[in-house]
Amino acid sequence: MPNVTDRIRNPFGMEPDCEQFVPGYGDANADFHVVGDHPGVHGGVETGVPFTGTAAAERLQAALREAGLLRTVGDEPEVNRTFLSYLHMCVPEGEVTAAEYADMDRYFDAELRAIAAHVLLPVGERATRHVLREFTAQAHRTDINMARLHGQELLGSGWLVLPIADPVEWDDDEAERLVESLLELQSTDFRRESDLGRFLPGGESYYVR
């Protein structure tokens, strides 16, 4: 069932207990969910929007635009079937502890499941490790080699996962690989839905994963 909210910034009204935070931003009915670490790592402290305000964020936005996931780039990008959020949305004071990540997980998990995007795009090692542990059958993996996983499709539990190396470490090759992977993915049946409407009276479409 699609969400009815048309709010782009913080569509689900998340209110964590911290002085400043960068909430999720984008299409509440997104096909693609880009998952970062926290505002101190991936940007948005000044703008309040994930993946903005740094050179690395601009690099990522440019690739997402070229791949069709953003229509425009900037401090308030225009998204196309895409949602942007962080594991830890609060702006931290220093290093984030394991307990603080764990405390914020309820917000991230609730938002992720409310959006129910078809493709998860974790950015950087921490986000990739979390997504693989929580949303795939690869929780046992310890070999999180982002150079190798970058742009590689992995099957999850109801999601496709396509990890993205941290854009602060990119060269032109990483950007090109990501764009090519996303364009190729979109040319396939990445939603992997089945229409069960044929089993219902009236024959209306009813899609499930």
pLDDT tier, 209 (very low <50, low <70, confident <90, very high otherwise): very low
For the segment 130-147, the average pLDDT, to the nearest whole number, is 81
Q: What is the tens place of the pLDDT at every residue in 160-173? A: 999 999 999 998 79
Identify which has the larger pLDDT, 142 or 102.
102
Query: What pLDDT sits at residue 193?
Result: 45
Query: What pLDDT sits at residue 140?
Result: 65
Query: What pLDDT sits at residue 109?
Result: 95
Pairing status of strand 119-122 against strand 32-36: parallel
Q: What is the tens place of the pLDDT at every residue in 75-93? A: 999 999 999 999 999 999 9
Query: What pLDDT sits at residue 196?
Result: 36
Ordered strands of the 82-86 beta sheet: 25-26, 82-86, 32-36, 119-122, 160-161, 154-155
C-alpha to C-alpha distance for 11 and 28, rounded to whole angstroms: 7
Domains of the chain with CATH codes: 25-208 (3.40.470.10)
Q: What is the tens place of the pLDDT at every residue in 184-207? A: 999 987 665 443 344 456 555 534
Q: Taking the CB of residue 20, how many other CB atoms lie within 10 A of it?
A: 13
Q: What is the tens place of the pLDDT at every residue in 96-135? A: 999 999 999 999 999 999 999 999 999 999 999 999 998 8
Q: Which amino acid is at 34?
A: V
pLDDT tier, 139 (very low <50, low <70, confident <90, very high otherwise): low
Query: What pLDDT sits at residue 143?
Result: 76
C-alpha to C-alpha distance for 165 and 177, rounded to whole angstroms: 11
Q: What is the tens place of the pLDDT at every residue in 23-52? A: 999 999 999 999 999 999 999 999 999 999
C-alpha to C-alpha distance for 142 and 88, rounded to whole angstroms: 22
